[in-house]
Structure 1
Amino acid sequence: MSFPVLAVNELAMKFGTSEVFKNVSFSVAPGETLGLFGKSGSGKTTIGRCIVGLEKPTGGEIRVKGKDILSMSKKEFRKLRPKVQMVFQHPETSLDPRMKAFENLIEPLKLHSGLKKDALLKRGEKLAELTGLLPEHLARYPSHLSGGEIQRIVLARIMALSPDFIVADEPTSMLDVSVQAQILRLMQKLQKETGVSYLLISHDIEVLRKVCHRIAYLKNGTITSIENINRGINT
């Protein structure tokens, strides 16, 4: 039996007595991009943070490849965590400002892969090539890179861990329109080449319509509808 990569069932979140969302349910298939659309303050980002374990919901379940992550021990979740990644709206927060771009890129490989130095450098170079980074970008510190270059470094870092699923929270909202298009095309290319699935969170419906296979609409704290976009899934 083939499980969705991600299944969210009746997810609920309260902060004190304030209800952020309730009965939020959706699933994401292997190789699919599901858009999550809602206005600012609708709870989109909180849903994304719950999926990657940065927030704890007050109810419901989150299943990754059939396993409920909310009932996992910390040790079990730590094993799974590299496979479920998040791209943040402010990508520079993911990078160490004291390290050059290439060192930032290979840091996850150092922690998780067990590769020797030569193999580590080769894998880093392949990831840089995959994400369209040039040697001059890799030699710079994050403060000397543009927003688009930083987002490419962040995507390369994430792909280093061969994730099954990426939550992308407004990944292009801080970028110029032309750079936005480049990053969205890059995300599609990575999906085509690796089969990774995305939950793409945005308040910009046009961005979602360009790249998503389906769009879930979050309104008044719940998913009101899920729209199919006429686009085949790369599996």
Structure 2
Amino acid sequence: MTASYETIDTHLDGRVLHATFHAPPINLIGPELVRDLVGLIEELSRPDAPRVVVFDSADDDFFFPHPNHLLGGAVPAMLCGTGALATAVMRASSARSCIVVGCVTLAVGPGLTAVALGIGNSALFYTSTVIAGVGFGVGYLGALRSLVNLADPEHRGALVSAIYLVAYTAFSVPVVVAGAVATREGLEHTAIGFCVVLAVLAVTALVATLRTSSRAARIMPPNSAGPTDSQSS
């Protein structure tokens, strides 16, 4: 056996190979461990490879963790459910207010998610998911409301179609890229980086929104209603 692995420690004892899984904190089955296990299986397929393999774990409490599908499904449910609830609560708010609230919570939520992943805090992770869900729902409501008001009634159908096309492209392409990055950098590091990028984009959108509103307020006469608030009510 000549190969070395990032998450599997191997040593030979005569014709017996001992393979110890070492992927802290709990031997999570991620891209690195899968890659190393595939490599080990390929090496064991050689004619001169050991015939007996003993697998064990460097973690006394975990060999491989069994995923909890209920908790796993709770994450998208919390994200989308909170977004729907927040949208209903803020349905009477102006487009600008929705965008500001959405940007703030989309910055805070993913930022806290990155921290939770880094320190391994489940409670913080689920809390940050709820906060991000508020930003997901309210931010989308504000953006949709402000854009729809820019089109004449006879063109709004085409505009909404274009909005959904751009929105779903924006959802899917970064995820595909993140999946490709995860195979090289690992799932945890990719997820943290993804959250940080999302938080930075939300802060950038917030600054742009506030600057645009401030500039519009300086240009418009004192008795004029702002285009965003008046059109979105």
TM-score range, shorter chain: under 0.3
State TM-score, norm by structure 2: 0.22
Structure with more helix by fraction = 2
Q: Which has the larger radius of gyration?
A: 2
Report 1 or 2 for greater relative contact order, CA contacts < 8 Å, sequence distance ≥ 6. Answer: 1
